[in-house]
Amino acid sequence: MTAHVATIARRSGGWVVLRLDNDQVWEQSEDGPDLRLQVGETVTIDKGILGAYWLTVHAYHAAIKVRRTQ
């Protein structure tokens, strides 16, 4: 799934919580690189193995593990 970042929040520890333009909310679920996300940025969420999901930022070609919260 490809979408655009609508809002960005940070939890304690610096983990990100993202609302996408399709109203889905995803939060970072493991430590990972700082993706320097910005509102409007294009991201892709892909299903990995064992039920994991990975959010990739097109501009940086980096990914973090995420889980859907809404």
Taking the model in full, what pTM does it have?
A: 0.90
Average of per-residue pLDDT values in the chain: 93
pLDDT tens digits along 36-53: 899 999 999 999 999 999
- At 60, the pLDDT band (50, 70, 90 cuts) reads confident
- pLDDT exceeds cutoff 90 at 70: no
Domain boundaries, the chain: 2-68
Query: Which residue type sits at 42?
Result: T
